[in-house]
Amino acid sequence: MEIVPLNVISTYSLLQSPLRPTELVQGAKSRGYRAVALADWNVMYGAIDFYNAAKAAGIKPLLGLRLHLKTMAMTTQGLEVLFLARTQAGYVNLMQLSTLKQTQAQGRFLTQQEIEPFLTDLDLILPAQPLTLDQTMIDQWLPALIEKTAGHCWLGVDLELDAIQREQIRQTARQYAVSLVAAPKIEYLENDDAFATDVLRHIDEGAKMTNPFFQAQNTISHALPTREQLQQAFLDSEFEGAAAQTAIIAQECNVEIKFQMPILPKFPTPNQQSAADYLKQLCLAGLKKRPLAAGYSPIDYEKRLQRELTTIHEMGFDDYFLIVWDVMRFAHQKKLATDPGRGSAAGSLVAYVLEITEVDPLKYQLLFERFLNPERAQMPDIDLDLPDNRRDEVLQYVHQKYGHARVAQIITFGTFGAKQAVRDVGRVFGMPVYAIDELARAIPNLPKITLQQALSESRALNNLLSDSAQNALLMKTALRIEGLPRHYSTHAAGVVLSQAPLNQLVPLQNGSDGLLMTQFPKDTVEALGLLKMDFLGLRNLSIMDSALQLIEKSQPDFDLHQINLNDPLTLKLFQKGATGGIFQFESSGIRQVLIRLHPENFEMIVAVNALYRPGPMDNIAHFIARKEGREKVTLPDPSLASILAPTYGILVYQEQVMQLAAKMAGFTLGQADLLRRAMSKKKADVMERMRGRFINGAVANGYSRPVAEQVFEYIDRFANYGFNRSHAVAYSMMAFEMAYLKCHFAPAFFAALLNAHAGSEKMRAYFEDAKSFGVVIAGPSINFSQADFSLYQGRVLFGLSMIKGVRRDLISEILLKRKDGQFASLADFIGRIDVRFRKPELIAPLIYAGAFDRLGSNRAEMIDALADLIEGAEFNQALLGSDTFQTMIPARPEYPLAQRLEKEHEYLGVYLSGHPVSQYRSLAGQLHAVTVAQLKEGMNATLILYVSRVKTINTKKTRQPMAFVSTSDETGSIEATVFPKQFQRYQELIAARNVLIISGRVENRNGSLQLLASRIQLASSAGERGSAPAKTRWFLQLRKNALTPRLTAQLQEFISSHHGNVPVMVYYPETRQTRLLPRSQWLSGDEATKKGLIDLLGVSNVVYQSTS
């Protein structure tokens, strides 16, 4: 009888093997095997892939699992047992065993009592391998296993056993009357894979190889031999009978996995109503609450509703809609912001009246058949968008409703990408970090790039490989492990529900937040008949949710879903492209389209959303030209105007394809949906059949054959570019709602937006955007700030948690102590907080961020006195709470503005009191300078920029120094690249904290704009290098008796931080003398300078004069 490989693991024994299940099947078939087993450690991740591949290849799959079982002698690693399923019931037991193991504490072995209920219909093999043969363990376990499996138990033998071990295993087999079976360890296909396997295990252990070259040449092989080789090896040994036992086991194992439509859980209806009756009852009640669209009667809605309910019932989906309705009802009860709809579900009136969606499909001419086609047996797909910071609330509700055993999240696998593989192998080789980085950087930064692609595109990478044998070995190994699963994680959205306990249908393991997780990925669980629902956490919904909570405090009855979708102010926002922070409309490209198209109504916003995608983008220019009357609108036939005229004769939506097929060719909408799908997939044979049906149908309906052919060709050409109108309407509605909040409730919107993007690069741009909407963003206040951004007296107040270095427990302490009254001073604050927070490193960030600015002292004074204040508080506490010891805060000048701004940026991530560039903004006109926010790829530009960081490197070829300079202005940040020639000329100017005027070309590097510097100068010297004399001047009146030392220091600091090219005249009224200050003390001419002077000297003592 033919030998069968039984003791095989795959790459799904994570980081233990490079062998993919599909490779195992292909390799086994090419080597002459007619059956092969797969038994991974503890899990069944690859079981279905393996099963499907084997069935497709025509060889028999044996489904297995291997575990370590607990023994009395726990100094060992446990008893290794391999389980193979004989029947469907055995397969269920495999899943139960794997679930049992994967829901235990990590590293815990299962006991005999735990596994006994799951041993029926399983074949067990105790593989005996070198160094692991432990007679004590075998004696402890073997009798019980033989009894519980009704004799379906074998001792596995491997020809690597030495003579003593071979004799020992023969004696054990005779003692317990069990057969020996050939079970050599198989971990990969080829001998060459042995080293890659060794590397994977080092990655798993976080270990390094002492000598990779030696280990690459001296690794014991566990490759898969040919059937003849393996069979002959056993026939030539004393274990010739063990080979025949493999065939007996293979013959016993007959598992057929069922793939089927989802088996829906039964929704618990009241009074034992049928699901269909309860669904209809809910829909009729919901219909009464919804307004009628213009031009439609109640009968129109009732007919559409009945048609949808009939289709839903006939396809068996009543329970599904009730389940989704119930989840959304919970979300509404908890006042979670939900989206108006997602995908084709927005085309369902049932979904609309159940408040699953907020899109009226009749009003927007959306098609139910695009969502649920009665002529195509497929599950409806309603994805639910939820605030990403409250998604867990919904998961927990579903978990409680249907039970722990019937709800699970879905697994997904992270794989070795190109750079990850190189970095991991480099670490195992013990290479220095810089050498690994050099290799990784030589791989182009392209999405989903493979190492093979990198080798064909990167000369630098090939040079590194040719220069080093170690690098070449690293690349060979990285190529082998690239794409293999490295770890598992939780699918971002997917959740499965089941009527029966899930571990009878799929293997499970512990997930997050107390939920279970499937061991099979989403496509597999759906194919096995589990109901998959997607609960997607959207940041934009969290923004809306937070904004609505703030709005509710002043307007509790505000309903976002009831706004006017043609609100003039909101439309104006879209027309101006002022869509920063707006879902799906934030990119610079789509903003330009909005400005060009100038949408006058909501429908045009939907069109922009559908058109601004790869493919349809080609039609944008034609769409705009036709809208403006610069290009003629042509229709294949006048009768099609109702379908094509709203989009100026351009096919924008998939639903238009369906409508054309129905109107012209007499297709049902279900048939029209099949036509749309066939066209999108470009299947030639299907297309040809559809073409004949379409043309014949159109001719039968009175259209000429040439017109019918023309329309079909037109549809065929553009159908692949059409976008799902239901989805476009729903997501455009969500975007419009966000934009409405931005226009009408700007402070609440920006507070929520900034909370969602805390610490990101986008914050600075959002700060500037907020200013343009009249929103004041104030710095943190120790007495009024909350943990997050909040509203206070109509302003957005910085949150305490946004200050770097301020711990969450300190924030909780501040908020708690504030309930007893506001803090009167820094000393009062230190005296009231718990002693564990009285540390300079915890309090200083609050001071630098400006949280104590309103309590009487400046930041420099508070920082200088901080240690003494803490010591004073400790002294008072030692006196049993006495506050007799009062630490005074000595007066001293405030830090210069540049230093204050630097600290603000360090602790807040933004420049709040200003920006180092602002003092030079008056130079922008004469320099023709632009801001970072105005930059576009390909333009030559001059910018005034603040340098935050300089990174110098040497070029690879000439070893000349160059620099990457991190810079910013009030509107954003950009990296300036200074090549060797320019670096040699300007290197003395390129230093952190300098404000520079940089000219150069803007390029797109790896998805980000960069400025390639050609000319650099100090902003402070710009007015002195031949700039035209200012046509304005400052006239300041100073009374000598008012010039206290404090005011003098403040003036000096102000002048140094607001330097510019506007002359300053000072008038002393006591002596009636006027003095022109030296050029080094000239000021900027901007509003910030004017405001600062008025704050210092008073409005009557500051005049900005024109000299022309």
Do the beta carbons of residue 610 and residue 728 sit within 8 Å? yes
Residue 531: beta bridge partners? 497
Residue 891 pLDDT more than 60?
Answer: yes
Rounded Cα–Cα distance for residues 843 and 848 (Å): 9
Residue 1028 pLDDT more than 60?
Answer: no
Q: What per-residue confidence (pLDDT) applies to 130? A: 55
Rounded Cα–Cα distance for residues 1034 and 1011 (Å): 35
pLDDT band at 472 (very low <50, low <70, confident <90, very high): very high
Residue 850 pLDDT more than 60?
Answer: yes
Specify the pairing of strand 516-518 against strand 407-415: parallel
Q: What per-residue confidence (pLDDT) applies to 1025? A: 45
- Inter-CA distances, 979 with 84, 458, 563, 575, Å: 64, 21, 54, 41
Stretch 102-116: mean pLDDT, rounded?
89
What is the distance, to the nearest Å, from the Cα of residue 156 to the centroid of all Cα atoms in its chain?
47
Closest of 160, 181, 152 to residue 84, by C-alpha: 152
Stretch 981-998: mean pLDDT, rounded?
91
Q: What per-residue confidence (pLDDT) applies to 1009? A: 87
Q: What per-residue confidence (pLDDT) applies to 1068? A: 83
Which stretch of DSSP H or E encloses residue 293? none
Instruction: Find the range with the poorest average confidence among 125-134, 223-232, 581-590, 949-958.
Output: 125-134
Rounded Cα–Cα distance for residues 510 and 101 (Å): 10
In this predicted model, what pLDDT tens digit does every residue of 2-47 receive, in sequence order? 899 999 999 999 999 999 999 999 999 999 999 999 999 999 999 9
pLDDT band at 134 (very low <50, low <70, confident <90, very high): low
Q: What per-residue confidence (pLDDT) applies to 31? A: 97
What is the distance, to the nearest Å, from the Cα of residue 492 to the centroid of all Cα atoms in its chain?
8
Here the tokens at position 798 are 């910085």
In this predicted model, what pLDDT tens digit does every residue of 367-381 receive, in sequence order? 999 998 888 877 888
Instruction: Find the range with the poorest average confidence among 505-509, 760-764, 795-799, 842-846.
Output: 760-764
Do the beta carbons of residue 532 and residue 495 sit within 8 Å? yes
Average pLDDT value for the chain: 90
832: helix, strand or coil: helix
Name the percent of the chain in helix, strand, coil, to the closest 5.
50, 15, 35
* Beta strands across the sheet bearing 153-157: 35-41, 60-69, 79-85, 122-127, 153-157, 179-182
Which of the pair, 615 or 574, is modelled with greater confidence?
Answer: 574
Residue type, 1087: E
User: Count of alpha carbons within 13 Å of 487, Cβ hemisphere only?
Assistant: 7
In this predicted model, what pLDDT tens digit does every residue of 169-219 receive, in sequence order? 899 899 999 999 999 999 999 999 999 999 999 999 999 998 887 776 766
Instruction: Find the range with the poorest average confidence among 546-560, 822-836, 926-940.
Output: 926-940
CB atoms within 10 A of CB 681: 10
Stretch 238-258: mean pLDDT, rounded?
95
- Inter-CA distances, 99 with 102, 406, 531, 886, 1077, Å: 5, 13, 20, 65, 82
Stretch 1025-1039: mean pLDDT, rounded?
68
- Inter-CA distances, 229 with 180, 224, 234, 247, Å: 19, 10, 9, 16
Most confidently predicted of 67-71, 630-634, 812-816, 1058-1062: 812-816
- Sequence spans of domains, the chain: 21-189+224-252, 270-412+490-540, 644-722, 745-908, 918-1023, 1032-1106
Residue 911 pLDDT more than 90?
Answer: no
Q: What per-residue confidence (pLDDT) applies to 882? A: 55
Closest of 1096, 1090, 1101, 1091 to residue 1068, by C-alpha: 1101
Do the beta carbons of residue 1048 and residue 1018 sit within 8 Å? no
* Exposure string for 149-171, b = 16+ CB within 10 A, e = fewer: beebbbbbbbeebeeebbebbee
Residue listed under structure tokens 């989802």: 262
CB atoms within 10 A of CB 303: 12
- What string of DSSP letters covers 994-1043? -EEEEEEEEEEETTEEEEEEEEEEEGGGGGGSSPPPPSEEEEEE--GGG-
Stretch 311-321: mean pLDDT, rounded?
94
**Topology given in CATH for the domain delimited by 745-908:** DNA polymerase; domain 1 (1.10.150)
Residue 431 pLDDT more than 80?
Answer: yes
Residue listed under structure tokens 């079981």: 47
In this predicted model, what pLDDT tens digit does every residue of 1046-1081 receive, in sequence order? 788 788 878 876 777 788 888 888 877 778 887 778
pLDDT band at 508 (very low <50, low <70, confident <90, very high): very high
Residue type, 764: R
User: Count of alpha carbons within 13 Å of 66, Cβ hemisphere only?
Assistant: 23
Length of the chain: 1108
CB atoms within 10 A of CB 436: 19
Which residues are CB-neighbours of 994 under 8 A, at least 6 positions away?
Answer: 946, 947, 1018
Name the burial class of residue 233, with classes exposed (0-12), middle (13-18) and buried (19+) by CB atoms within 10 angstroms of its CB.
middle
Which of the pair, 675 or 30, is modelled with greater confidence?
Answer: 30
Stretch 830-855: mean pLDDT, rounded?
94
Rounded Cα–Cα distance for residues 727 and 1097 (Å): 59
Residue 164 pLDDT more than 50?
Answer: yes
Q: Does domain 21-189+224-252 have CATH number 3.20.20.140?
A: yes
In this predicted model, what pLDDT tens digit does every residue of 264-315 receive, in sequence order? 889 999 999 999 999 999 999 999 999 999 999 999 999 999 999 999 999 9
Residue 963 pLDDT more than 70?
Answer: yes
pLDDT band at 685 (very low <50, low <70, confident <90, very high): confident
Q: What per-residue confidence (pLDDT) applies to 745? A: 97
Rounded Cα–Cα distance for residues 284 and 302 (Å): 8
Q: What per-residue confidence (pLDDT) applies to 252? A: 94
Residue 1099 pLDDT more than 60?
Answer: yes
User: Count of alpha carbons within 13 Å of 467, Cβ hemisphere only?
Assistant: 9
- Inter-CA distances, 108 with 67, 104, 111, 139, Å: 11, 7, 9, 21
Rounded Cα–Cα distance for residues 215 and 233 (Å): 26
Do the beta carbons of residue 809 and residue 800 sit within 8 Å? no
Which of the pair, 137 or 705, is modelled with greater confidence?
Answer: 705
Rounded Cα–Cα distance for residues 76 and 90 (Å): 29
Here the tokens at position 320 are 């599904």
pLDDT band at 76 (very low <50, low <70, confident <90, very high): low
- Inter-CA distances, 797 with 474, 742, 816, 949, 971, Å: 52, 17, 19, 29, 20
Stretch 633-653: mean pLDDT, rounded?
90
Residue 705 pLDDT more than 80?
Answer: yes
pLDDT band at 779 (very low <50, low <70, confident <90, very high): very high
CATH architecture of 918-1023: Beta Barrel (2.40)
pLDDT band at 1029 (very low <50, low <70, confident <90, very high): very low
In this predicted model, what pLDDT tens digit does every residue of 599-623 receive, in sequence order? 999 999 999 999 998 878 888 999 9
Stretch 1002-1019: mean pLDDT, rounded?
88
Q: What per-residue confidence (pLDDT) applies to 129? A: 60
Residue 55 pLDDT more than 90?
Answer: yes
